[in-house]
């Protein structure tokens, strides 16, 4: 759990290496801002901290951080709304967002991932674990940035006329870009990346949502239904395997499956 003795402000002996990853800390509690800032600076990050959502949006556009540590309960704009706006801003699209909040119920966790969070930590928290998670998120953010600037034509994934660009997190259907929410993209990508593999609802909760399998499994069914609606004519790409879960449908069998000739599986 948090240690008050670690909450002192960074001192002059703490060195930040040139080119260090930038972390933006957003929390209305001064003690939390100081605690998190001190420990992340001590871990080698360049840290800036703000206390409200409006300042967070301005700072993110200026700093282009690798990671944003974001509280949900802010005095002006909610953390959920800040996350949503950051995900709509192309200049910070590669930033990883870690929600750090006292709101730990399943609904808030699912909603946080749905609006674009990469990780979710509940207060009170382990400082060491938080630093470890931020390091992992920063590494992944840098990988996305490197990939964004590289030639990656051969890395694209496809299913018939549906194409996924995994480095830019974009989906194209018959030549037209399809705008998906972050959670919808993650859900589609995991199927296309593993053709033929059957994912149980528990698998999807853990791999896509990153939450406990004790969560109501109807959450998965609801999001599968919404994703199919978004895919339109390509909704048949996601196949229900009764009694087991979901998988990417074999494109060669798609025509036969739609007519009901594939036993044990359908789109329900």
- Mind listing the pLDDT tens digit for each residue in 191-246? 998 888 999 988 888 777 766 555 556 778 888 998 999 899 999 999 999 989 99
C-alpha 173/C-alpha 160 separation (Å) is 9
Q: 12 pLDDT exceeds 50?
A: no
C-alpha 94/C-alpha 88 separation (Å) is 11
* Mean pLDDT for the chain overall: 81
**Helix, strand, coil: what percent of the chain each, to 5?**
45, 20, 35
C-alpha 113/C-alpha 111 separation (Å) is 5
Report residue 180: phi and psi, to 5°: -115, 150
The distance between the two most distant Cα atoms of the chain, rounded to a whole number of Å, is: 71
C-alpha 180/C-alpha 101 separation (Å) is 26
pLDDT score for 255: 54
pLDDT tens-digit profile of 156-197?
788 989 998 877 778 999 989 888 877 788 899 889 988 889
**Tokens standing for residue 254:** 């798609």
Distances in Å between the alpha carbon of 243 and those of 38, 64, 199, 203, 267? 50, 45, 11, 14, 13
pLDDT score for 111: 81
Q: 126 pLDDT exceeds 70?
A: yes
Least reliable range by pLDDT among 63-67, 74-78, 109-113, 225-229? 109-113
Q: For the CA atoms of 211, 213, 214, 219, what is the dihedral angle to 10 degrees?
A: 80
Contacts of 222 (CB under 8 A, 6+ apart): none
Report residue 3: phi and psi, to 5°: -115, 115
**Tokens standing for residue 112:** 């946080």
C-alpha 87/C-alpha 181 separation (Å) is 9
DSSP letters for 63-76: H--SEEEE-S--SS
Q: For the CA atoms of 128, 130, 135, 137, what is the dihedral angle to 10 degrees?
A: 160
Mean pLDDT in residue range 77-96: 87
Q: Please name each of the domains of the chain with its CATH number.
A: 4-148 (3.40.50.2300), 153-266 (1.10.10.10)
C-alpha 134/C-alpha 20 separation (Å) is 13
- The alpha-carbon radius of gyration of the chain (Å, integer) is 20
Q: CB of 40 within 8 A of CB of 25? A: yes
DSSP H helices, the chain, are: 30-42, 53-63, 79-88, 106-114, 127-148, 182-193, 201-204, 218-231, 254-258
Residue 46: which H helix or E strand, with range? strand 46-50
Alpha carbon distance, N-terminus to C-terminus of the chain: 44
């Amino acid at each position: 759990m948090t240690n008050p003795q670690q909450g002192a402000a960074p001192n002059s002996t703490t060195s930040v290496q040139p080119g260090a990853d930038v972390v933006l800390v957003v929390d209305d509690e001064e003690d939390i801002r100081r605690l998190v800032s001190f420990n992340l600076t001590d871990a080698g990050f360049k840290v800036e901290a703000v206390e409200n959502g409006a300042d967070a949006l301005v700072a993110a556009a200026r700093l282009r951080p690798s990671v944003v540590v974001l509280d949900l309960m802010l005095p002006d704009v909610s953390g959920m709304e800040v996350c949503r706006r950051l995900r709509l801003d192309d200049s910070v699209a590669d930033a990883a967002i870690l929600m750090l909040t006292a709101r730990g119920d399943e609904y808030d966790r699912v909603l946080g991932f749905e609006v674009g969070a990469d990780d979710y930590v509940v207060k009170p928290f382990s400082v060491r674990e938080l630093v470890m998670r931020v390091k992992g998120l920063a590494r992944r953010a840098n990988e996305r940035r490197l990939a964004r600037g590289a030639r990656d034509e051969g890395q694209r994934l496809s299913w018939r006329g549906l194409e996924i660009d995994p480095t830019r997190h974009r989906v194209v259907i018959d030549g037209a870009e399809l705008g998906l929410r972050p959670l919808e993209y993650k859900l589609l990508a995991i199927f296309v990346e593993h053709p033929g593999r059957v994912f149980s609802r528990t698998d999807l909760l853990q791999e896509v949502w990153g939450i406990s399998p004790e969560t109501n499994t109807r959450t998965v069914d609801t999001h599968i239904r919404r994703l199919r609606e978004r895919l339109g004519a390509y909704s048949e790409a996601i196949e229900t395997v009764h009694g087991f879960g979901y998988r990417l449908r074999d494109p060669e069998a798609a025509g036969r499956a739609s007519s009901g000739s594939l036993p044990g599986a359908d789109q329900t």
